[in-house]
């Protein structure tokens, strides 16, 4: 039942989920940012277990190196570092909604016969194939170009927004 | 090996923790952090499905890459708007940003 990979999975899942919960209930915004980073680390470890090392690298570079650091910088700029945070009037309703959503998804997962083992062999050296698929006209060339256009527009709009007027 | 449903349950739990943070929060930056947690749960689902059910795991990972790009875009734009709101109103609490309230 509890083999080594399963125990490893449970360990990383505990890190990811536990620090996510701590992020949501943290008393200070700055602490919440650090718990979020720990949660991202747990998810990156799970990508290693899914034999997707490229996704692990992306998770570390993009989320921890990019988004989390950007969050911390935004907290510093808005001087919210040591302010105690206030929650909504009624966190109980929010908890109830989140819990009911979770039980609905859990019910749906338990209805379906998901496999216990991977049905396909582990992908070997498929990163060049993904790269070709991204720029293939019959693949994802159009969404790829749209995403690059989106990132360009975001860059311009953030520059415009951040300008002192 | 690990059953696929374990990954799906973990992703559902992460998504719902993010949902709780989104609903119970009054602070723009932590709302954005909860949003990133929800997006992470979705990406974990994509990668798990790609590993378990798809030969070569191509399309699931490609979708995950697109979600990464969109998540980066919305984080950058959201934080820029947060800083802008703070600059104009000296607060980032969403219950104080109520000019449009009738």
What are the residues whose beta carbons fall under 8 Å from the beta carbon of A66, sequence distance 6 or more?
Answer: B72, B75
Token pair 């609903």 is at which residue? Answer: B23
Nearest CB to B40; choose among A43, A110, A133: A43
Question: If DSSP codes are grouped into helix, strand and coil, which group holds residue A87?
Answer: strand
pLDDT category at B34 given cuts 50, 70, 90 is: very high
What are the residues whose beta carbons fall under 8 Å from the beta carbon of A54, sequence distance 6 or more?
Answer: A127, B61
Residues in chain A: 165
Given CB atoms, is B81 within the 8 Å cutoff of chain A?
yes
Chain B contact set for A146 (CB, 8 A): none
Tokens of B67: 């979600």
Given CB atoms, is A56 within the 8 Å cutoff of chain B?
no
- What is this structure's pTM? 0.91
Q: CA A52, CA B43: separation in Å to the nearest integer?
A: 12
Chain B contact set for A54 (CB, 8 A): 61
Q: CA B24, CA A15: separation in Å to the nearest integer?
A: 22
ipTM computed for the complex: 0.90
Chain B contact set for A107 (CB, 8 A): none
The pLDDT tens digits for A23-61 are 988 888 888 999 999 999 999 999 999 888 889 999 999
Q: CA B7, CA B35: separation in Å to the nearest integer?
A: 19
CA distance B8 to chain A (A): 7
């Amino acid at each position: 039942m509890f083999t080594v990979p399963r125990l490893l999975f449970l360990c990383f899942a505990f890190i990811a989920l536990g620090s996510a919960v701590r992020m949501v209930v943290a008393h200070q915004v700055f602490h919440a940012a650090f718990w979020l980073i720990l949660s991202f680390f747990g998810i990156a470890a799970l990508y290693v277990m899914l034999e997707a090392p490229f996704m692990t690298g992306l998770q570390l570079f993009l989320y921890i190196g990019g988004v989390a650091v950007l969050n911390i910088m935004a907290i510093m700029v808005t001087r919210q570092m040591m302010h105690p945070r206030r929650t909504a009037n009624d966190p109980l309703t929010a908890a109830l909604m989140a819990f009911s959503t979770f039980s609905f998804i859990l019910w749906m997962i338990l209805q379906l016969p998901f496999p216990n083992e991977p049905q396909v062999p582990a992908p070997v050296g498929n990163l060049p194939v993904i790269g070709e698929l991204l720029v293939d006209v019959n693949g994802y060339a159009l969404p790829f170009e749209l995403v690059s256009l989106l990132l360009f527009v975001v860059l311009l709009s953030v520059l415009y927004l951040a300008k002192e007027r | 090996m690990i059953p696929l449903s374990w990954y799906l349950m973990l992703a559902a739990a992460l998504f719902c923790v993010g949902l709780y943070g989104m609903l119970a929060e009054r602070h723009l930056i932590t709302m954005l952090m909860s949003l990133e947690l929800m997006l992470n749960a979705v990406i974990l689902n994509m990668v798990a499905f790609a590993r378990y059910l798809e030969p070569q795991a191509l399309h699931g990972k490609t979708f995950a890459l697109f979600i990464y790009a969109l998540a980066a875009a919305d984080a950058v734009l959201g934080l820029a708007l947060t800083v802008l709101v703070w600059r104009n109103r000296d607060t980032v609490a969403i219950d104080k940003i109520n000019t449009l309230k009738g």
